[in-house]
Structure 1
Amino acid sequence: MNKSIVTGVVLCGLMVLTSWTAQAVKPTTRLSDLHQKIVLADVIPTSFGGWTEDVNQVSAVINPQVDAEIKKIYAQTLSRTYVNKEGERIMLSIAYGTDQRDNLAVHYPEGCYGAQGFNVSPVHYESMSSRTGEIPATRLVASLNNRVEPITYWIVVGEKAVRNSWELKKARLSYALDGLIPDATLIRVSSINADSAVAYRLQQGFVDEMLAAVSPTMRAHFSGHAH
C-alpha cells in the first residue's frame, strides 16, 4: 500500500480515537481555577521596552458577526496598538478562554481575517525564540486592497503551546485524562508592512519585550513554558 495512504489512514484512526476518548472522558475541574487568575488588561502593561499603547488606534477591524462569535468563545479579549519612537506600530490581540471542551474552541486568525474579506496566505510554522524558550508560532499574511498585514500568532492550551487544531486536540485530551478542563490563550501580533520579513523581525522584538515586562508566572503562561 502507498506510504502516504497508510499515513493518512493512521492519522484518521488517531483522530477518531482522540474524538471518542474525549467523549468518553468527562473532566470536571477547570485548570483556570487552579492557577493565578488572569486579567488580561492588568497583566499586559500599556508601556514596556520601547513600546507605548497608542490609544488613538485600534488593533483590528472586526465586523459585528465575527465579534459576536469571538465573545461566545472567549472569557476575555484584549486588543491594543503599540507604537515605538520610530513610529512603527504593532497590533496586539490576546484572547483567553477558560473552557476548551468541544463546544468552545479556538477561533484561528486565518478564519477570522477571511471572514472579513481579507485574502489570506497559506500558513507556515516557525519556532520563535523567546526569553523562556522556543515558541511554536504560526505566520501568515492577510491583505485587503492596499493593506498588507503580516501576522504572527500562537496558542497555549493549559500550559502547552500548540501550532494547530491537531496539536490542540492532543493537548486537550491529555488534560482530560487527568480530569482537567484546560483554558486556552491565543496571542496574535501583526503590523502593516508589505515586507513580511521586516514585519516579522519587528514582531519578534515586540514579543520578546512584552514577555520581559510581565511577571514570571505570566511569562511562563503566555509562552507555553509553565510546566
Structure 2
Amino acid sequence: MNDERRQRRQLLHAAGLAAVMASAPVAAWRIRPDEPLTLSYPKMDLEQQIPEVFAGWRVDRSLTPLVPDPVLQQSVQATYDQNIARTYINDRGERVMVTVAYGADQGAEATQVHRPEICYGAQGFVVRHQADELLALPEHRIAVRRLFASLGRRMEPVSYWVTLGDTASLPGWRRKLEQIRIGLAGKYADGLLMRFSSFGTDTAAAYTLHDRFVRDLYASVAADVRPRYFGS
C-alpha cells in the first residue's frame, strides 16, 4: 500500500511539473522576474560570514581546494557573484576542503554547469555518484549528495548541496519546479553551492568527517544568515 501511495505521489508530482513546464514559455512573456525573493534578507558576504577559525578548525593556507582551469574559472566568475575556496585543519590533522559559491540570480541555466559532478568531470576526474543522504542538523535535516572523484592518485570524497533562497536542496526537478514557481510570481531567487571534500579512499569515514565539519560550521555561522547557507 505504501509503495502504491508513493508511486501515486510521484506521478502527481511529475504531472504537475509537466504542466508547469508546458505553461512556462507561455507565461514568460507576461511575467519578467524583476524582484529578488530575498529582498528583505541580510546581505550575503561569504568572506565575513564564513569564519576562518571556529570549533577547533582553522584555515590551512598550505593547501588549496580544487581550482578550475582558466576557461572554467572564467565561467565560474561570470556565473557567481561571490565564491570562496578554503582548506580547514583541526588539531588532529584532519582536513576538509570547502568551496562556497553564491549567485544572486539562480534562474539562469548557466548555474547548472557548475555542479560538482560536471566541474570535477571537466577537470579530468572520474566522478561516481555514491548516494543522496539526509544530514541531521540541530533544527532540521538537509539532503546531501555524496560523490567520489578520482584522478590518478588523487581520491576525493565529496559532499554537497545547493540552496535556493533559504531552502536547501539538491539539483533536480524539485528545485527546477521551485525556480519556475518563484519566476511565475515575478521574482527570482539567489542561491549557493556548498561543497565539502577531503582526500582518501575510505568514503564512509570521509562523509562522517564532512558531516561533523558541517555541524561545527552550522553552529558558528550567525543565526540571521544561517538559513541562507543551510536552509531552514
TM-score (structure 1 length as normaliser): 0.89
Q: Match of 1:56, as an amino acid? A: S
Q: Distance in 1 between matches of 2:171 and 2:186?
A: 23
The answer for the alignment partner of 1:75 in structure 2 is 81
CA contact (8 A) 2:36 2:189 kept: yes
* Cα shift readout 1:130-152 (whole Å, capped 9, x = no counterpart): 12310111111000111110100
Q: CA deviation at 1:11?
A: 7.8
User: Which of 179, 201, 214 is the aligned partner of 1:172?
Assistant: 179
CA contact (8 A) 1:18 1:173 kept: no
Residue 115 (structure 1) aligned with residue 137 (structure 2): no
User: Which of 202, 214, 221 is the aligned partner of 2:228?
Assistant: 221
> Compared with structure 1, are the counterparts of its residues 19 and 115 closer, same or farther at alpha carbon in structure 2 (3 Å cutoff)?
farther
Residue 162 (structure 1) aligned with residue 169 (structure 2): yes
CA contact (8 A) 2:17 2:177 kept: no
Residue 20 (structure 1) aligned with residue 19 (structure 2): no
CA contact (8 A) 2:167 2:227 kept: no
> Compared with structure 1, are the counterparts of its residues 170 and 22 closer, same or farther at alpha carbon in structure 2 (3 Å cutoff)?
farther
User: Which of 56, 66, 69 is the aligned partner of 1:63?
Assistant: 69
Q: Match of 1:23, as an amino acid? A: A
The answer for the alignment partner of 1:194 in structure 2 is 201
User: Which of 88, 93, 99 is the aligned partner of 1:93?
Assistant: 99
Q: CA deviation at 1:89?
A: 0.5
The answer for the alignment partner of 1:133 in structure 2 is 140
> Compared with structure 1, are the counterparts of its residues 22 and 56 closer, same or farther at alpha carbon in structure 2 (3 Å cutoff)?
farther
| Alignment length (residue pairs) | 221
> Compared with structure 1, are the counterparts of its residues 55 and 22 closer, same or farther at alpha carbon in structure 2 (3 Å cutoff)?
farther
Q: CA deviation at 1:51?
A: 0.7
> Compared with structure 1, are the counterparts of its residues 140 and 21 closer, same or farther at alpha carbon in structure 2 (3 Å cutoff)?
farther
Q: Distance in 1 between matches of 2:117 and 2:167?
A: 21
Counterpart secondary structure, 2:64: coil
Q: CA deviation at 1:171?
A: 1.5
Residue 49 (structure 1) aligned with residue 48 (structure 2): no
CA contact (8 A) 2:85 2:100 kept: yes
Counterpart secondary structure, 1:33: coil
- How large is the RMSD of aligned CA atoms in angstroms? 2.3
Q: Match of 2:57, as an amino acid? A: W
Moved more, 99-108 or 87-96: 99-108
Segments of 4+ moved more than 4 angstroms: 9-12
Q: Distance in 2 between matches of 1:222 and 1:21?
A: 33
**Percent identical residues:** 33
Q: Distance in 1 between matches of 2:217 and 2:182?
A: 28
The answer for the alignment partner of 2:3 in structure 1 is none
* Cα shift readout 1:21-61 (whole Å, capped 9, x = no counterpart): 66243221023433111110000000111210001211113
Q: Match of 1:167, as an amino acid? A: R
CA contact (8 A) 1:18 1:170 kept: no
TM-score (structure 2 length as normaliser): 0.87
